[in-house]
Chains A and B, each alone.
Chain A
Amino acid sequence: MSDMTASTPSLRSGMNFDRLRTYFPFMVLILVCIGFAIFSDQFVSARNLETVLRQASVLSIAAMGATFIIMMASIDLSVGSVVGLSAVIVAYFMQSNGLLAAPAGLLSGAFLGALVGVIYAKMKVPSFIVTLGLLVAGHGMMLHITEGRPIMIKNETMRWIGSGDIAGVPTIVIVALIAFAVAYVIQNHTILGRSIVAIGGGEMVAQRSGIRIDRVKIGTFALAGLYSGLAGIVLSSRMGAGSPTAGTGLELDVIAAVVIGGTPLTGGMGGVVGTIIGALIITILSNGLNLAGVSSYSQLIIKGAVLIIAVVISIDRKKIGVIK
C-alpha cells in the first residue's frame, strides 16, 4: 500500500477534496443554525422549526428536479414559472374538477419539461436559452389564466395538504420526503441516474458507452418538470390560491440550493442529498434574516451574492469550456 500511495501523489488530497464536497453543505448548515441561534431567541423554537420545514418543502421539491438537470451539466432557468404555472393550473381546474386538478399540475410540468428537452436535445439550443424563454412565456401564461388575480382554492383536502399534519408532521413535509426518496432511488439505483451523471461528467464518454444521449436529456427535463409540477401543487395548497406571482424568483433559490448542496454547475457530481441540505440553508438564511430584522431589499442582495459565491467555490474549472 505504501509504495502505491507514493506513486500517486494526488490521491490523498483528491480524496480530501471529494470528502469536503460531501460534508461542506452540512457544515454550512450547522454554522448558519448556530449563528442565528445566537442572534435571535425566536430562532430555536418548535414553531419556527415547523415554519422553516414548511417553507423549505416547495423549494426542496423543485430543487430536486433541478439537481438532475445540473448534474447533467445543463441548466433550468424556467423553474419559477413552471412551478407557478402548475400552481395556477391546479387552482383553475380545482374550481370545476376538484382534486382531479392535481394531476393536471403534474402533467403540465412534465409536458413543459419534455418540450424544453426536445428543443435542447434535438435542435441543439443551449438549455439556458430555451428555459429563459420558457421563464418569460410561462409567466405570460399564468397572467392569462388568472387574468391577473389570484384564483382561490376552496377544496378542503387541498387545504389540509397545505396546512395540515399527519401525527404532528406537516403534510407537505411528508410529500417532500416521499419526493426525496424517489429522487434518491432514481439517482443511485437506476440506469437513468447513471446516464445523467455520465452525461454531466463527459457527454462524449457517455455516448460511446452506449447511452442514448437525446433520450436521457428529454427524459431528465421531463422528470424535472414533473418535480416542478409537484412543487406547484404544494405551493398552491400552502397559499390556498393560484396567484399570478406564484414562484416568481424561485429559480434563483433553486439553483442556489443545488449548488450550495454540492452539485457544481459543471455537472457530473453531487446529488439530491446535498440539495435537501442546500434548500434548508437557503430557507434558514431568509428565515433567520427575517427574524434578525434585515429588510427584504437587503436580503435580495445577500441571496444574489450567496449564489455567486457558491458557484465560484464549486465549479470545476477544467471543464469551463462546456458550460451550457
Chain B
Amino acid sequence: MADVANHMETGQGTAKRFSHAILEARGLQKQYGPVHAVRDVGLTLHAGEALALCGENGAGKSTIFKILAGEVTPDGGEITLNGDPFKPDSAASAVRAGVSMVYQEFNTLPNTSVAENVFLGRMDMFRRFGIIDWTKLHAAAQEVLNRLGLKIDPRASMGSLSPSTCKMIELARALSTNPKVLLLDEITASLDHDDADTLHRLMADLRAQGVGILYVSHRLQEIFGSCTTVEVMKDGAYVTTCPVEELDESQLSALMIGRKIDVWERTPGLADRPVMLALDGLSGAGFKDVSLKVRRGQIVTLAGLAGSGADAVLEAVFGAVAVSKGSIELDGKRHEGRDIPEAIAAGIAMVPKERAVEGLIDSADIQFNIGLAGLTRNARGGFVDGSAESKDAKQGMQLFRIKAPSAATAVRNLSGGNKQKVLLAKWFLTNPKLILLNNPTRGVDVGVKLEIYEMLQKLREERDLAVLMASEDMAEVIRVSDIVITIRHGAISGVFEGEAITETNLINAMI
C-alpha cells in the first residue's frame, strides 16, 4: 500500500508542472469504411507525464495507439515528436524514432529464449562475423531484466514462464529500445498482482527520467494510482483532458459513458432463503478446503488476485477440473456429476472467462451459439427441434438486448459487448438452478457492464437464481455481490457481507 501512496504523491502535479511536450498530435482522423474510428482527436504528452486515454470499447483508443506506434496510417492530422514531424510508416520506424508500444495481445514466441524475445527483430545488434554473439545478447538481456527487477535467466525458454511474466518480457523489450514515449495498451489485464506493482513502480521511475507514457486500462483505480492526466474519448471523438486530481472514479466513468452510474442496492433478507449450492471442504488442483453456501436469489463472489484459485473452484463445480476431496451439494442433494455434461444436466451453467476460446463459436450464428449449451434441451431422440431453438434464440436476444439484424447473424460480426451478451444468453437459456460466472464482464466497456449488471439483478430476482461468481474486477465485486468470499493461495481468507464489503477490506484479505 505504501507504493500506491508514493505514486499518488509523484502524481500530484498538474499539466503545468511538466517542462516540455514530447509528443503532440493534432486533428487525427481515421476512417474504416463508413465508420469514423477517430474524428479530429489531438493529444499532448509532456516529458514525465503519464496520460491515460479513457473511453469505452470502440471509443478509438486503440486506433490512436496504432497510429502512434506506426501500425496504422492516419487519414488526416499531424504528429510531432520533440518538435519534428513524426510520420512512422512501420512499427520498426516508430521504435527507431523513440516510440515503443506494449500490445494488449501476447507477442512472444514460446519456443525461444527470454533474451531472444527481449531483442526480437533486433538480433542484428549482436551479430559478429555473421553469427550471433550469445554472450553479449544474454548480458544485454540480463541488464534489461535487472532494470525491471525480474529474476529470470535470459536463457530460459519462454514456454516455461507464466503469462504474466511473458507480458513483463514484452515490457522489457519496449524498455530495451530506450523509448521517449511508451505506449501501454491494457497491459495489466495480463499481469498478476506483483508484476502490476513492478510496472507501476517502473512507470514512476520512467517519468522521473522524462519519459512520456500513454496508458490504456479498463481498471480505473490504476489510472488514479499511476497516471497524472486523463484524456477522455467517446465514439471516436475527443471529450476532455484534465489532471487526475480533478476527478473521481464515478466522474470519470460518467464522462466515458456520458451518464452517471447509480449505486447497487444490496438485497437484504437473503439469509433465510433455501441453500442451492453447498461446498464442503472442496479440494483439488489449485484450491483447498473450500466450504461455502449459495442461496437462491443470492450472488456470492469469490474474489482473488489472478491465479488465486477462485477460477478453479468454479471449474470444479462445473465438472471441468477434478475434485480430490470434499463434496458438492446441489439443491439439497449430493452432486456426483464429475464432468460437464452431467453438471449441465443437473442444472448448472457456467459463463467462462475466455469468451473466444471457451465461450462462443465465432463462425456460427447467434441461434447456433445460444442453442449449443445443453443441446439435449431442445431435442428429442437425437433430433433437434428447430422451432424451439429459434424461439430460444429470439428470447435470448430480447432478454439481453442483443443488437443484431437477426438470429442468423454470425457471432464474428458482432461487437465485443454483444458477443458477451450472446454468451450470457447461451447459458441463461439453459434455465439453470445455479449459474457460475467467471469474470462475466471481462473486456467489455462500462456501458455494457452496467447493462449486464442490471440484467443479472433482474434475472436472479425473477428466477430465484443462485449465482456464484469469480471476478478480478474489484469495482464489479463490490458492486454486485451480496456476499464476497476472498480467496488467497487457493484457500478462503475472508467472508464479507453488507457494509463490510469495502475495497480496503477485500484487498487486505486478498493479498
Contacts and interface: CB of A to CB of B under 8 A. Distances in A.
Interface of A: 1, 4-11, 13-15, 18, 189-195, 197-198, 201-202, 204-212, 268-269, 316
Contact of A9 (B33, B320, B350): B33
B340 interface: yes
Interface of B: prevailing SS: mixed
Contact of B403 (A4, A198, A201, A212): A4
A189 B390 CA distance: 13
B413 interface: yes
A194 B374 CA distance: 11
Given A1-B405, A7-B58, A8-B403, 9 more contacts: A9-B34, A189-B386, A197-B361, A197-B368, A198-B361, A202-B362, A208-B358, A210-B374, A211-B375
B341 interface: yes
Nearest to A215: B341
Contacts of B343: 210
Contact of B350 (A1, A11, A206, A208): A208
A192 B403 contact: no
Interface stretch (B92-100, B146-154, B377-385): B377-385
Contacts of A268: 361, 363-364
B360 interface: yes
Interface of A: prevailing SS: helix
Contacts of A13: 33
B394 interface: no
Contacts of A193: 384
Contacts of B341: 210-212
**Most chain A beta-carbon neighbours within 10 Å: one of B33, B345, B357, B364:** B364
A201 B364 contact: yes
Q: Which 4 pairs of residues, A with B, have the shortest CB-CB distance?
A: A201-B361, A14-B413, A210-B344, A9-B35
Contact of B360 (A11, A14, A192, A205): A205
B432 to A, nearest CB: 12
B410 A18 contact: yes
A208 to B, nearest CB: 5
Interface string B69-94: 00000000000000000000000000
Given A201-B361, A208-B320, A6 B34 contact: yes
B359 interface: yes
A190 B382 contact: yes
A269 B374 CA distance: 21
A204 to B, nearest CB: 5
Contacts of A198: 361, 364, 368, 372
B415 interface: yes
Contacts of B352: 208
Interface of B: 32-35, 58, 320, 340-341, 343-345, 350, 352, 357-364, 368, 371-376, 379, 382-384, 386, 403, 405, 409-410, 412-415, 418, 426
Nearest to A208: B358
Given A205-B359, A268-B363, A194 B375 contact: yes
Given A11-B405, A11-B413, A210 B363 contact: no
Contacts of A5: 405
Nearest to B389: A194
30 contacts: A4-B405, A7-B58, A8-B414, A8-B415, A8-B418, A9-B32, A9-B33, A10-B412, A10-B413, A11-B405, A11-B409, A14-B410, A189-B384, A189-B386, A190-B382, A190-B383, A191-B375, A194-B371, A194-B375, A197-B361, A198-B368, A202-B362, A205-B358, A208-B320, A208-B352, A209-B374, A210-B344, A210-B345, A268-B363, A316-B363
Contact of B375 (A11, A201, A210, A316): A210
B123 to A, nearest CB: 24
A202 B415 CA distance: 19
A210 B335 CA distance: 16
Nearest to A266: B363
Nearest to B37: A9
Contacts of A11: 405, 409, 413
Contacts of A208: 320, 340, 350, 352, 358-359
Given A7-B58, A9-B35, A209 B357 contact: no
B265 to A, nearest CB: 31
Contact of A14 (B371, B375, B412): B412
